[in-house]
Amino acid sequence: MTKLEPLRFNPGGTVGRPGVTAADLAALAPRLDEIRAEMLGTDLQLFAGNGTIPPEKQPLDAGFLELPERMLDPYLTTRKESELFRILRTAQELQAKVDRLVVLGIGGSYMGARAIIECCCDPFVNELPAGERGGRPKVYFAGYNVDNDSTRGLLHLLRATNRPNDPHSRWGMIVISKSGGTLETAAALRQFINAWIETYGREQLGEFLIPITGTSGKLASLADAIGCPVRFPVPEGVGGRFSVLSAVGLLPAAAMGVDVVKLLEGAAAMNDHFRLASPGENTVLDYVAVNHLAERNLGCQTRVLSAWSNALESAGLWYDQLLAESLGKKELGALPLTVVNTRDLHSRAQQHQEGRRDKLVNNLIVDHYRHDPLPVGRTGWNQDGLDDLAQRTLPELMAAAIRGTNDAYREAGRPTTDLHLPAADEASLGQLFQMLMLTTVVEGRLLGINPYGQPGVEAYKLHMNRYLRQGL
Protein backbone atom coordinates (compact mmCIF):
# COMPACT_ATOMS: atom_id res chain seq x y z
CA MET A 1 0.00 0.00 0.00
CA THR A 2 1.33 3.42 -0.97
CA LYS A 3 2.07 5.71 1.97
CA LEU A 4 -0.70 8.31 2.11
CA GLU A 5 -0.53 11.94 3.10
CA PRO A 6 -2.58 11.99 6.31
CA LEU A 7 -5.70 13.98 7.01
CA ARG A 8 -4.93 16.50 9.78
CA PHE A 9 -7.05 18.01 12.56
CA ASN A 10 -6.20 21.38 14.11
CA PRO A 11 -8.43 22.40 17.03
CA GLY A 12 -7.53 26.03 16.36
CA GLY A 13 -8.83 28.62 18.76
CA THR A 14 -11.41 26.29 20.31
CA VAL A 15 -8.87 24.87 22.75
CA GLY A 16 -7.96 27.34 25.48
CA ARG A 17 -11.50 28.49 26.19
CA PRO A 18 -12.92 27.73 29.64
CA GLY A 19 -14.24 24.21 29.42
CA VAL A 20 -12.11 23.23 26.43
CA THR A 21 -8.64 23.64 27.88
CA ALA A 22 -5.66 21.33 27.53
CA ALA A 23 -6.46 20.09 31.03
CA ASP A 24 -10.07 19.32 30.02
CA LEU A 25 -8.83 17.35 27.01
CA ALA A 26 -6.34 15.44 29.15
CA ALA A 27 -9.07 14.60 31.66
CA LEU A 28 -11.25 13.16 28.89
CA ALA A 29 -8.45 11.14 27.27
CA PRO A 30 -8.66 8.03 29.52
CA ARG A 31 -12.38 7.62 28.79
CA LEU A 32 -11.76 7.97 25.04
CA ASP A 33 -9.04 5.33 25.30
CA GLU A 34 -11.51 3.00 27.03
CA ILE A 35 -14.08 3.53 24.31
CA ARG A 36 -11.52 2.85 21.59
CA ALA A 37 -10.45 -0.38 23.29
CA GLU A 38 -14.10 -1.41 23.68
CA MET A 39 -14.86 -0.75 19.99
CA LEU A 40 -11.80 -2.66 18.78
CA GLY A 41 -12.15 -5.44 21.35
CA THR A 42 -15.49 -6.20 22.97
CA ASP A 43 -17.68 -4.77 20.21
CA LEU A 44 -15.95 -6.73 17.46
CA GLN A 45 -15.98 -9.92 19.52
CA LEU A 46 -19.69 -9.58 20.25
CA PHE A 47 -20.32 -8.72 16.60
CA ALA A 48 -18.52 -11.91 15.59
CA GLY A 49 -20.82 -13.96 17.80
CA ASN A 50 -18.51 -14.42 20.78
CA GLY A 51 -20.96 -13.74 23.58
CA THR A 52 -24.42 -12.27 24.10
CA ILE A 53 -24.93 -8.68 23.02
CA PRO A 54 -26.36 -6.69 25.95
CA PRO A 55 -29.68 -4.88 25.34
CA GLU A 56 -28.11 -1.42 25.40
CA LYS A 57 -25.84 -2.39 22.50
CA GLN A 58 -28.55 -3.81 20.27
CA PRO A 59 -28.33 -3.38 17.38
CA LEU A 60 -24.54 -3.69 17.18
CA ASP A 61 -23.79 -2.86 13.53
CA ALA A 62 -20.03 -2.79 14.04
CA GLY A 63 -19.24 -4.33 10.65
CA PHE A 64 -18.08 -1.01 9.21
CA LEU A 65 -15.03 -1.04 11.51
CA GLU A 66 -13.14 -3.66 9.54
CA LEU A 67 -14.95 -3.23 6.22
CA PRO A 68 -12.06 -1.50 4.36
CA GLU A 69 -9.72 -4.38 5.16
CA ARG A 70 -12.40 -7.00 4.41
CA MET A 71 -12.84 -5.49 0.96
CA LEU A 72 -9.15 -4.93 0.24
CA ASP A 73 -7.40 -8.02 1.62
CA PRO A 74 -9.07 -10.66 -0.60
CA TYR A 75 -8.58 -8.41 -3.64
CA LEU A 76 -4.86 -8.15 -2.92
CA THR A 77 -4.48 -11.92 -2.41
CA THR A 78 -7.01 -14.05 -4.32
CA ARG A 79 -8.00 -11.12 -6.59
CA LYS A 80 -10.50 -12.73 -9.02
CA GLU A 81 -12.43 -14.44 -6.23
CA SER A 82 -12.95 -11.21 -4.29
CA GLU A 83 -16.06 -9.04 -4.13
CA LEU A 84 -13.99 -6.00 -5.02
CA PHE A 85 -12.85 -7.67 -8.25
CA ARG A 86 -16.49 -8.39 -9.11
CA ILE A 87 -17.37 -4.76 -8.42
CA LEU A 88 -14.60 -3.52 -10.72
CA ARG A 89 -15.50 -6.00 -13.46
CA THR A 90 -19.19 -5.07 -13.28
CA ALA A 91 -18.29 -1.38 -13.40
CA GLN A 92 -16.33 -1.98 -16.62
CA GLU A 93 -19.25 -3.90 -18.11
CA LEU A 94 -21.60 -1.04 -17.27
CA GLN A 95 -19.27 1.45 -18.92
CA ALA A 96 -19.26 -0.67 -22.08
CA LYS A 97 -23.02 -1.01 -22.44
CA VAL A 98 -24.71 2.11 -21.00
CA ASP A 99 -24.17 5.80 -21.50
CA ARG A 100 -26.57 6.83 -18.73
CA LEU A 101 -26.72 5.29 -15.28
CA VAL A 102 -29.56 5.82 -12.78
CA VAL A 103 -28.74 5.09 -9.14
CA LEU A 104 -31.87 4.45 -7.09
CA GLY A 105 -31.70 4.68 -3.30
CA ILE A 106 -32.44 6.86 -0.29
CA GLY A 107 -30.39 7.96 2.72
CA GLY A 108 -27.24 5.90 3.14
CA SER A 109 -28.17 3.92 0.04
CA TYR A 110 -27.26 6.82 -2.22
CA MET A 111 -25.66 9.67 -0.28
CA GLY A 112 -22.24 8.03 0.00
CA ALA A 113 -22.06 7.18 -3.70
CA ARG A 114 -23.07 10.72 -4.59
CA ALA A 115 -20.44 12.14 -2.23
CA ILE A 116 -17.69 10.02 -3.84
CA ILE A 117 -18.67 10.91 -7.39
CA GLU A 118 -19.03 14.63 -6.74
CA CYS A 119 -15.70 14.76 -4.92
CA CYS A 120 -13.60 12.63 -7.27
CA CYS A 121 -15.10 13.19 -10.74
CA ASP A 122 -15.14 16.25 -12.98
CA PRO A 123 -17.74 18.65 -11.52
CA PHE A 124 -19.54 18.80 -14.88
CA VAL A 125 -19.02 15.18 -15.92
CA ASN A 126 -22.58 14.76 -17.19
CA GLU A 127 -22.17 17.69 -19.58
CA LEU A 128 -19.00 16.37 -21.22
CA PRO A 129 -19.06 14.46 -24.54
CA ALA A 130 -18.55 10.70 -24.22
CA GLY A 131 -14.93 10.97 -25.34
CA GLU A 132 -14.14 13.53 -22.67
CA ARG A 133 -15.78 11.24 -20.09
CA GLY A 134 -13.51 8.39 -21.13
CA GLY A 135 -16.55 6.43 -22.25
CA ARG A 136 -18.00 6.50 -18.74
CA PRO A 137 -21.76 7.01 -18.35
CA LYS A 138 -23.62 10.06 -17.23
CA VAL A 139 -24.99 9.48 -13.75
CA TYR A 140 -28.33 10.46 -12.21
CA PHE A 141 -29.76 9.83 -8.74
CA ALA A 142 -33.40 9.04 -8.05
CA GLY A 143 -35.56 7.16 -5.58
CA TYR A 144 -34.59 9.44 -2.70
CA ASN A 145 -37.78 11.50 -2.79
CA VAL A 146 -41.37 11.23 -3.99
CA ASP A 147 -41.20 14.50 -5.91
CA ASN A 148 -43.47 14.14 -8.94
CA ASP A 149 -41.89 16.71 -11.25
CA SER A 150 -38.31 15.67 -10.55
CA THR A 151 -39.09 12.04 -11.34
CA ARG A 152 -41.02 12.94 -14.48
CA GLY A 153 -38.18 15.22 -15.55
CA LEU A 154 -35.58 12.45 -15.33
CA LEU A 155 -37.83 9.94 -17.09
CA HIS A 156 -38.40 12.49 -19.86
CA LEU A 157 -34.64 13.10 -20.17
CA LEU A 158 -33.90 9.37 -20.45
CA ARG A 159 -36.50 8.94 -23.19
CA ALA A 160 -35.51 12.12 -25.03
CA THR A 161 -31.81 11.22 -25.16
CA ASN A 162 -32.36 7.64 -26.31
CA ARG A 163 -31.00 6.80 -29.77
CA PRO A 164 -33.03 3.82 -31.06
CA ASN A 165 -30.46 2.71 -33.63
CA ASP A 166 -27.50 2.93 -31.25
CA PRO A 167 -27.20 -0.05 -28.87
CA HIS A 168 -24.60 1.88 -26.83
CA SER A 169 -27.12 4.59 -25.96
CA ARG A 170 -29.05 2.42 -23.52
CA TRP A 171 -29.38 3.36 -19.88
CA GLY A 172 -29.06 1.10 -16.89
CA MET A 173 -29.98 1.07 -13.22
CA ILE A 174 -28.31 0.30 -9.90
CA VAL A 175 -30.94 -0.05 -7.18
CA ILE A 176 -29.81 -0.05 -3.55
CA SER A 177 -32.04 -1.16 -0.70
CA LYS A 178 -31.25 -3.74 1.97
CA SER A 179 -34.86 -4.89 2.29
CA GLY A 180 -36.47 -3.47 -0.82
CA GLY A 181 -39.32 -2.21 1.32
CA THR A 182 -38.46 1.48 1.52
CA LEU A 183 -41.39 3.15 -0.21
CA GLU A 184 -39.56 5.99 -1.95
CA THR A 185 -37.05 3.71 -3.66
CA ALA A 186 -39.50 0.88 -4.34
CA ALA A 187 -41.99 3.22 -6.04
CA ALA A 188 -39.25 4.80 -8.16
CA LEU A 189 -37.95 1.37 -9.17
CA ARG A 190 -41.37 0.45 -10.55
CA GLN A 191 -41.50 3.65 -12.58
CA PHE A 192 -38.00 3.27 -14.02
CA ILE A 193 -38.52 -0.44 -14.77
CA ASN A 194 -41.70 0.43 -16.69
CA ALA A 195 -39.88 3.17 -18.61
CA TRP A 196 -37.06 0.74 -19.49
CA ILE A 197 -39.50 -1.94 -20.72
CA GLU A 198 -41.44 0.62 -22.77
CA THR A 199 -38.20 1.66 -24.46
CA TYR A 200 -36.32 -1.63 -24.88
CA GLY A 201 -38.67 -4.49 -24.11
CA ARG A 202 -38.74 -6.98 -21.26
CA GLU A 203 -36.18 -9.57 -22.35
CA GLN A 204 -32.90 -7.89 -21.39
CA LEU A 205 -34.09 -5.93 -18.36
CA GLY A 206 -32.18 -8.14 -15.92
CA GLU A 207 -28.86 -7.38 -17.61
CA PHE A 208 -29.37 -3.63 -17.15
CA LEU A 209 -30.66 -3.73 -13.56
CA ILE A 210 -28.12 -4.38 -10.79
CA PRO A 211 -29.54 -4.76 -7.28
CA ILE A 212 -27.48 -4.15 -4.16
CA THR A 213 -29.55 -5.69 -1.41
CA GLY A 214 -29.79 -8.23 1.38
CA THR A 215 -29.69 -11.97 0.88
CA SER A 216 -33.48 -12.06 1.32
CA GLY A 217 -36.29 -9.54 1.21
CA LYS A 218 -38.53 -7.84 -1.32
CA LEU A 219 -35.79 -6.56 -3.62
CA ALA A 220 -33.96 -9.90 -3.56
CA SER A 221 -37.21 -11.65 -4.53
CA LEU A 222 -37.83 -9.14 -7.32
CA ALA A 223 -34.30 -9.67 -8.65
CA ASP A 224 -34.99 -13.41 -8.73
CA ALA A 225 -38.26 -12.89 -10.60
CA ILE A 226 -36.73 -10.55 -13.18
CA GLY A 227 -33.64 -12.70 -13.55
CA CYS A 228 -30.83 -10.32 -12.63
CA PRO A 229 -27.59 -12.24 -13.23
CA VAL A 230 -25.46 -9.79 -11.25
CA ARG A 231 -26.21 -8.54 -7.77
CA PHE A 232 -24.20 -7.43 -4.74
CA PRO A 233 -24.82 -7.67 -1.00
CA VAL A 234 -25.41 -4.99 1.54
CA PRO A 235 -23.09 -6.42 4.23
CA GLU A 236 -24.68 -7.89 7.32
CA GLY A 237 -24.01 -5.80 10.39
CA VAL A 238 -23.37 -2.62 8.40
CA GLY A 239 -26.09 0.00 8.72
CA GLY A 240 -27.06 2.04 5.68
CA ARG A 241 -25.30 5.23 6.73
CA PHE A 242 -22.14 3.20 7.47
CA SER A 243 -22.21 1.30 4.15
CA VAL A 244 -20.40 3.74 1.85
CA LEU A 245 -17.28 1.55 1.61
CA SER A 246 -19.25 -1.52 0.52
CA ALA A 247 -20.75 -2.17 -2.92
CA VAL A 248 -23.37 0.44 -1.96
CA GLY A 249 -20.89 3.25 -2.58
CA LEU A 250 -18.16 1.45 -4.50
CA LEU A 251 -20.10 0.13 -7.51
CA PRO A 252 -21.66 3.45 -8.63
CA ALA A 253 -18.32 5.18 -8.02
CA ALA A 254 -16.31 2.57 -9.92
CA ALA A 255 -18.73 2.80 -12.84
CA MET A 256 -17.83 6.49 -13.00
CA GLY A 257 -14.11 5.73 -13.11
CA VAL A 258 -13.32 6.45 -9.46
CA ASP A 259 -10.30 4.55 -8.11
CA VAL A 260 -12.12 2.73 -5.33
CA VAL A 261 -8.99 0.80 -4.33
CA LYS A 262 -7.38 4.09 -3.26
CA LEU A 263 -10.60 5.02 -1.47
CA LEU A 264 -10.40 1.81 0.58
CA GLU A 265 -6.67 2.26 1.17
CA GLY A 266 -7.36 5.68 2.64
CA ALA A 267 -10.00 4.24 4.96
CA ALA A 268 -7.70 1.40 6.03
CA ALA A 269 -4.95 3.92 6.79
CA MET A 270 -7.37 5.83 9.02
CA ASN A 271 -8.21 2.59 10.83
CA ASP A 272 -4.50 2.03 11.51
CA HIS A 273 -4.17 5.59 12.78
CA PHE A 274 -7.21 5.17 15.04
CA ARG A 275 -5.83 1.93 16.50
CA LEU A 276 -2.29 3.13 17.17
CA ALA A 277 -2.15 6.91 17.77
CA SER A 278 -2.46 8.27 21.31
CA PRO A 279 -4.96 10.95 22.38
CA GLY A 280 -3.46 14.30 21.48
CA GLU A 281 -2.11 12.81 18.25
CA ASN A 282 -5.18 10.82 17.20
CA THR A 283 -7.40 12.63 14.71
CA VAL A 284 -10.48 10.59 15.62
CA LEU A 285 -10.19 10.93 19.40
CA ASP A 286 -9.11 14.58 19.27
CA TYR A 287 -12.00 15.57 16.99
CA VAL A 288 -14.46 13.88 19.33
CA ALA A 289 -12.90 15.47 22.40
CA VAL A 290 -12.99 19.03 21.08
CA ASN A 291 -16.50 18.76 19.61
CA HIS A 292 -17.90 17.03 22.69
CA LEU A 293 -16.42 19.52 25.15
CA ALA A 294 -17.55 22.46 23.02
CA GLU A 295 -21.09 21.10 23.06
CA ARG A 296 -21.11 20.20 26.76
CA ASN A 297 -19.25 23.18 28.19
CA LEU A 298 -19.74 25.97 25.64
CA GLY A 299 -23.30 25.14 24.56
CA CYS A 300 -22.28 24.53 20.92
CA GLN A 301 -25.26 22.38 20.05
CA THR A 302 -25.11 23.23 16.34
CA ARG A 303 -22.15 21.62 14.62
CA VAL A 304 -21.32 23.38 11.36
CA LEU A 305 -19.25 21.50 8.79
CA SER A 306 -17.87 24.35 6.72
CA ALA A 307 -16.65 22.82 3.44
CA TRP A 308 -14.24 25.05 1.55
CA SER A 309 -14.81 23.27 -1.77
CA ASN A 310 -17.88 22.70 -3.92
CA ALA A 311 -16.69 19.11 -4.36
CA LEU A 312 -17.33 18.34 -0.68
CA GLU A 313 -20.93 19.51 -0.33
CA SER A 314 -22.40 16.03 -0.76
CA ALA A 315 -19.80 14.63 1.64
CA GLY A 316 -21.10 17.15 4.16
CA LEU A 317 -24.69 16.09 3.53
CA TRP A 318 -23.65 12.46 3.98
CA TYR A 319 -22.15 13.44 7.35
CA ASP A 320 -25.34 15.30 8.28
CA GLN A 321 -27.25 12.03 8.03
CA LEU A 322 -24.54 10.05 9.81
CA LEU A 323 -24.46 12.41 12.79
CA ALA A 324 -28.21 13.06 12.98
CA GLU A 325 -29.36 9.43 12.79
CA SER A 326 -26.59 8.12 15.02
CA LEU A 327 -26.62 10.65 17.87
CA GLY A 328 -30.05 12.29 17.67
CA LYS A 329 -31.51 10.11 20.43
CA LYS A 330 -32.64 10.52 24.06
CA GLU A 331 -32.98 14.27 23.41
CA LEU A 332 -29.22 14.46 22.83
CA GLY A 333 -26.94 14.91 19.85
CA ALA A 334 -25.61 18.01 18.11
CA LEU A 335 -27.55 19.46 15.18
CA PRO A 336 -25.44 18.98 12.01
CA LEU A 337 -25.33 21.71 9.38
CA THR A 338 -23.26 21.70 6.19
CA VAL A 339 -22.27 24.94 4.50
CA VAL A 340 -20.09 25.53 1.44
CA ASN A 341 -17.78 28.50 1.31
CA THR A 342 -17.22 31.02 0.07
CA ARG A 343 -20.79 30.66 -1.25
CA ASP A 344 -22.48 30.56 2.14
CA LEU A 345 -20.46 33.42 3.58
CA HIS A 346 -23.02 35.45 1.68
CA SER A 347 -25.98 33.73 3.32
CA ARG A 348 -25.24 32.05 6.68
CA ALA A 349 -22.10 33.82 7.88
CA GLN A 350 -24.00 36.74 9.39
CA GLN A 351 -25.75 34.37 11.78
CA HIS A 352 -22.56 32.50 12.55
CA GLN A 353 -20.78 35.79 13.24
CA GLU A 354 -23.42 37.58 15.32
CA GLY A 355 -26.23 35.11 16.01
CA ARG A 356 -26.70 32.81 18.97
CA ARG A 357 -23.53 31.39 20.47
CA ASP A 358 -24.57 27.79 19.96
CA LYS A 359 -22.30 26.86 17.04
CA LEU A 360 -18.94 25.22 16.54
CA VAL A 361 -17.57 25.63 13.02
CA ASN A 362 -15.45 22.71 11.80
CA ASN A 363 -13.69 23.91 8.65
CA LEU A 364 -13.08 21.20 6.03
CA ILE A 365 -10.16 22.49 3.96
CA VAL A 366 -8.63 21.04 0.78
CA ASP A 367 -4.87 21.62 0.83
CA HIS A 368 -4.00 20.71 -2.78
CA TYR A 369 -6.08 21.17 -5.92
CA ARG A 370 -6.18 18.69 -8.81
CA HIS A 371 -5.74 21.34 -11.47
CA ASP A 372 -3.30 24.19 -12.07
CA PRO A 373 -4.20 27.42 -10.22
CA LEU A 374 -6.43 29.74 -12.24
CA PRO A 375 -5.36 33.42 -12.04
CA VAL A 376 -7.81 36.30 -11.73
CA GLY A 377 -6.29 37.71 -14.94
CA ARG A 378 -6.75 40.92 -16.91
CA THR A 379 -9.53 41.85 -19.31
CA GLY A 380 -8.43 45.34 -20.46
CA TRP A 381 -11.00 46.98 -18.17
CA ASN A 382 -10.52 47.81 -14.50
CA GLN A 383 -13.89 49.13 -13.38
CA ASP A 384 -13.92 46.35 -10.75
CA GLY A 385 -10.54 47.50 -9.39
CA LEU A 386 -9.01 44.03 -9.55
CA ASP A 387 -5.97 44.76 -11.71
CA ASP A 388 -3.79 44.74 -8.60
CA LEU A 389 -4.98 41.17 -7.96
CA ALA A 390 -4.62 40.02 -11.56
CA GLN A 391 -1.75 37.65 -10.73
CA ARG A 392 -3.49 36.18 -7.72
CA THR A 393 -5.02 32.73 -8.21
CA LEU A 394 -8.31 31.22 -7.06
CA PRO A 395 -6.49 29.00 -4.50
CA GLU A 396 -4.88 32.16 -3.09
CA LEU A 397 -8.28 33.84 -2.88
CA MET A 398 -9.67 30.79 -1.12
CA ALA A 399 -6.76 30.67 1.36
CA ALA A 400 -7.25 34.36 2.16
CA ALA A 401 -10.99 33.79 2.66
CA ILE A 402 -10.35 30.90 5.07
CA ARG A 403 -7.85 32.88 7.13
CA GLY A 404 -10.01 36.01 7.06
CA THR A 405 -13.13 34.15 8.14
CA ASN A 406 -11.33 32.39 10.98
CA ASP A 407 -9.91 35.75 12.11
CA ALA A 408 -13.38 37.32 12.07
CA TYR A 409 -14.88 34.44 14.07
CA ARG A 410 -12.01 34.53 16.55
CA GLU A 411 -12.43 38.28 17.10
CA ALA A 412 -16.14 37.66 17.75
CA GLY A 413 -15.35 34.84 20.17
CA ARG A 414 -16.75 32.14 17.88
CA PRO A 415 -15.01 28.73 18.11
CA THR A 416 -13.61 27.07 14.99
CA THR A 417 -11.45 24.08 14.14
CA ASP A 418 -9.68 23.06 10.92
CA LEU A 419 -9.82 19.62 9.32
CA HIS A 420 -7.27 19.46 6.49
CA LEU A 421 -7.96 17.11 3.59
CA PRO A 422 -4.75 16.58 1.58
CA ALA A 423 -6.74 16.74 -1.68
CA ALA A 424 -10.24 16.21 -3.05
CA ASP A 425 -9.32 12.70 -4.19
CA GLU A 426 -10.02 9.07 -3.41
CA ALA A 427 -7.34 8.44 -0.79
CA SER A 428 -8.21 11.58 1.16
CA LEU A 429 -11.95 10.96 0.96
CA GLY A 430 -11.49 7.39 2.19
CA GLN A 431 -9.70 8.75 5.24
CA LEU A 432 -12.46 11.28 5.82
CA PHE A 433 -15.29 8.76 5.54
CA GLN A 434 -13.71 6.33 7.98
CA MET A 435 -12.68 9.07 10.38
CA LEU A 436 -16.20 10.52 10.58
CA MET A 437 -17.81 7.11 11.04
CA LEU A 438 -15.34 6.32 13.82
CA THR A 439 -15.83 9.70 15.51
CA THR A 440 -19.59 9.24 15.43
CA VAL A 441 -19.46 5.86 17.18
CA VAL A 442 -16.90 7.07 19.74
CA GLU A 443 -19.06 10.08 20.57
CA GLY A 444 -22.17 7.94 20.82
CA ARG A 445 -20.48 5.73 23.38
CA LEU A 446 -19.26 8.83 25.21
CA LEU A 447 -22.82 10.14 25.42
CA GLY A 448 -24.23 6.77 26.49
CA ILE A 449 -26.13 6.49 23.19
CA ASN A 450 -26.23 3.46 20.91
CA PRO A 451 -25.00 5.03 17.65
CA TYR A 452 -26.48 2.20 15.56
CA GLY A 453 -30.11 1.90 14.53
CA GLN A 454 -32.53 4.74 13.81
CA PRO A 455 -35.83 3.94 15.55
CA GLY A 456 -37.15 7.49 15.09
CA VAL A 457 -37.09 7.17 11.31
CA GLU A 458 -39.62 4.35 11.43
CA ALA A 459 -42.39 6.53 12.91
CA TYR A 460 -43.03 8.57 9.76
CA LYS A 461 -43.04 5.40 7.65
CA LEU A 462 -45.81 3.87 9.76
CA HIS A 463 -48.01 6.97 9.55
CA MET A 464 -47.27 7.48 5.84
CA ASN A 465 -48.30 3.92 5.01
CA ARG A 466 -51.41 4.22 7.18
CA TYR A 467 -52.58 7.27 5.24
CA LEU A 468 -51.85 5.65 1.89
CA ARG A 469 -53.61 2.38 2.74
CA GLN A 470 -56.65 4.07 4.30
CA GLY A 471 -56.88 6.89 1.79
CA LEU A 472 -55.93 10.51 2.26
Q: Which residues are catalytic?
A: 325, 346, 461
CA 283 – CA 394 distance, rounded (Å): 29
- Name residues whose C-beta falls within 8 Å of residue 166's C-beta, 6 or more positions apart in sequence: none
Pairing of strands 8-10, 416-423: antiparallel
Longest Cα separation, the chain: 75
b/e per residue 230-267 (b: at least 16 CB within 10 A): bbbbbbebbbbbbbbbbbbbbbbbbbbbbbbbbbbbbb
Please state, in angstroms and as integers, the Cα–Cα distance from residue 133 to each residue in 126, 128, 136, 167, following that order. 8, 6, 5, 18
Question: Residue 137: what are its φ and ψ, rounded to 5°?
Answer: -75, 160
- Name residues whose C-beta falls within 8 Å of residue 290's C-beta, 6 or more positions apart in sequence: 11, 14, 15, 20, 25, 417
